Amino acid sequence: MHTHSLTVDEPAQSPEFNKLLNQYRVSLQIFDRPKGKFKPEEILNLLTCRDQIQALMTERSLLSSQQLLRLADLDCYLKKYEVLIATHLDLEAWQQLVNPPHTSWWWFLRAPEPRHWWNEYDWLFNAGTLVILTISASLITDTATRLFSGGIDLGSTLMISGQSLLALLAGGGALTQAGRQAYERLLCRIRINKRYWQEASFTFALILVLSLAGIHSALPGFAETANQNGEAHYQNGKLDSARKDFKRAIALKQDFPKAHFNLALVHEDLQQLEKAKAQYQLVVTQKDLVNCNAANADHCDDLMIWLQAHNNLAELDIVDEEYGKAAPLLQAGLRKLEQQGNKETPEGKQLKYSLLKNLGWARLKQKFFSKAEHHLQQAAQMEPNAPDPFCMLAKVSEAKNEQQKALPDWKKCLTKAQQNPIVLETQPEVNQWVAEAQERLSTARDATQENAKA
């Protein structure tokens, strides 16, 4: 049995390819010159010669092994001088002009970046950038939460969108590859050396966080504006808009007694009394106002708001029949008003009247008639045209079985309510007392007529 060995015919060598290889070899001889004396044109000739070889290889897929080995040796020799080529020729500029495919590796030779001592601290700048961006994200989140607390509007949306965009730019678009590439193109466009990219990112992040901190520190100013807008809406009867403005003001500025007080007024008008009491309670418990005195007068700007909150909260407690809660609030308000010396101003006089009237009301409900009479008489002297104190003084006299003494007060209660009929619509308790006054006076007239006939 005979065996035959199989042989594969070697492709015939292409003379044209050999000619290009020889031209390639000759072009590489420029690197044999002493001290690397050659011109950029010579390097370009070398690279274009390599392009021609590659084009011929694409057209003719079959080349001899000897030709492939020669090409591999010459390519290896070319790569030895990668640094020399990259430093003598601006390859990036020629890449844009020639637009070679990425498989043409000879157009993409790069000199290694020189290692500078400054680059040893890149990790520190990267870590600092990460920390700053984390702080920035927290500031953006907190700012967005506060701005959107009262509802979403165009101004708030644009502000948060702008901050988020700046954060992405400062972070180098790290979330996506496209973002990272866009960031690197931006750095190249503004001519920042790649050596300093980490430092540039850190600087951008630092500028961002300082800007965000500035915006965050300005939130109390935005809160004042929101509160003023709410007051304007409240005056115009736009209660829902006012409620949103006051809620935004509270979110933007911590410990904002005026906004809490205004929000409580809105809740009262909407008959949301428990919510109103909660807002008044937040004002009453403000520590700076609780400790307000002549020694720390800087913290007393909202003192009148604090005192009015005492009065309004106590009045709601009386309506809820929680007289034991109401009386201490009213006493504390009167005591603080006396200490601060604001009782002689028009606002102070009106507030003192309300505190005395409501304290007399609470004592009446607690059946402390002497104390109730004392406080109500003081209130009647301060506001002689108000019906409330006279209505309650009449009830105090009746509770003490002094019906005849009560009649003059019932008459004043009715007369002054008729002179100011708006109170009958806005104060349900006064409306009820006036009805009682009419009943008592009618009964007294009937009794007088009966006695006259007798």
Q: Are residues 21 and 93 in the same domain?
A: yes
Which residue matches tokens 């520590």?
Answer: 287
Q: What Å distances lie between residue 202 and 131, 136, 295, CA to CA?
A: 10, 13, 46
CA 87, CA 59: separation in Å to the nearest integer? 33
Same-domain pairing of 378 and 389? no
Residue 281 resides in a domain = no
Look at 163-172, 306-315, 316-325, 351-360 and tell me which has the smallest mean pLDDT.
Answer: 163-172
Burial class of residue 200 in the structure, from the number of CB atoms within 10 Å of its CB (0-12 exposed, 13-18 middle, 19+ buried): buried
CB count, 10 Å around CB of 347? 12
Mean pLDDT for the stretch of residues 242-269? 91
Question: At which residue do the structure tokens 């700053």 appear?
Answer: 132
Last residue of one domain, picked from the residues 56, 77, 108: 108
254 and 326 share one domain: no
Whether residue 168 sits in one domain with residue 204? yes
Alpha helices in 15-148 (DSSP H): 15-28, 40-59, 65-80, 82-88, 91-98, 122-147
What band does 15 get if pLDDT is binned at 50, 70 and 90? confident
Higher pLDDT, 173 or 330: 330
Helices (H), 81-121: 82-88, 91-98
Average pLDDT in the 129-146 region?
77
In the predicted structure, residue 102 carries a pLDDT above the cut 70: yes
Instruction: Pick the range with the lowest mean pLDDT from 27-41, 134-148, 221-235, 308-322.
Output: 134-148
Distance CA 35, CA 293 (A): 87
Instruction: State the chain's mean pLDDT as an integer.
Output: 82
Instruction: Check: pTM over 0.85? Answer yes or no.
Output: no
Instruction: Quickly state the pLDDT bin for 133 (edges 50, 70, 90).
Output: confident
Identify the pLDDT of residue 175: 45
Q: What pLDDT does 119 receive? A: 67
Query: Which of 174, 172, 177 has its CA nearest to residue 187?
Result: 172
How many angstroms separate the CA atoms of 306 and 312, rounded? 10
Helix or strand or coil: residue 236? coil
Angle formed by the axes of helices 177-189 and 154-170, nearest 10°: 80
Of all residues in the chain, the percent with pLDDT exceeding 90 is 34
């967005």: which residue's tokens? 144
Is residue 419 one of the residues assigned to a domain? yes
Cα separation, 57 vs 67, in Å, equals 11
Tens-place pLDDT, residues 206-219:
887 888 788 778 88
pLDDT, tens digit, for every residue of 275-332? Answer: 999 999 999 988 666 666 554 555 566 888 999 999 999 999 999 999 999 999 999 9
Distance of alpha carbon 344 from the chain centroid: 42
State how far the alpha carbon of 162 is from the alpha carbons of 42, 119, 183, 328, 375, in Å. Answer: 51, 32, 17, 50, 59
Q: Which residue has the higher pLDDT, 254 or 365?
A: 365
Mean pLDDT of 45-59: 87
Are 159 and 139 in contact by the 8 Å Cβ rule? The answer is no
- Domain closes at, from 342, 358, 383: 383
pLDDT attached to residue 13: 65
Instruction: Copy the structure tokens of residue 405.
Output: 């003494």
Structure tokens at 396: 């105090």
Sign of the CA dihedral running 124, 126, 131, 132: positive
Last residue of a domain, one of 81, 108, 135: 108
Kindly state whether residues 123 and 213 are assigned to the same domain. Answer: yes
Kindly state whether residues 450 and 372 are assigned to the same domain: no
Closest CA to 426 of 382, 366, 386: 386
Cα–Cα distance, 398 to 409 (Å, whole number): 11
> Rounded to whole angstroms, how far apart are CA atoms 237 and 270?
11
Arithmetic mean of pLDDT, 399-412: 91
Tell me which of 103 and 125 has the higher pLDDT: 103
Non-local CB neighbours of 207 within 8 Å, separated by 6+ positions: 170
Number of domains in the chain: 5
In a domain, 307, yes or no: yes
Question: Do 338 and 304 belong together in one domain?
Answer: yes
Local confidence band at 157 (pLDDT 50, 70, 90 cut-offs)? low
pLDDT top residue among 223 and 6: 223
149 and 228 belong to one structural domain: no
Range of the domain at 213: 119-217
One-letter identity of residue 282: L
Say yes or no: 428 and 378 in one domain.
no
Cα 429 off chain centre by: 43
Do 212 and 226 belong together in one domain? no
Averaged pLDDT, 429-435: 90
What's the pLDDT band for 341 if we cut at 50, 70, 90?
low
Nearest-CA neighbor of 50 among 118, 98, 90? 98
Would you say residue 39 has pLDDT above 50? yes
Specify the DSSP class assigned to residue 14.
P
Same domain as 97, residue 40: yes
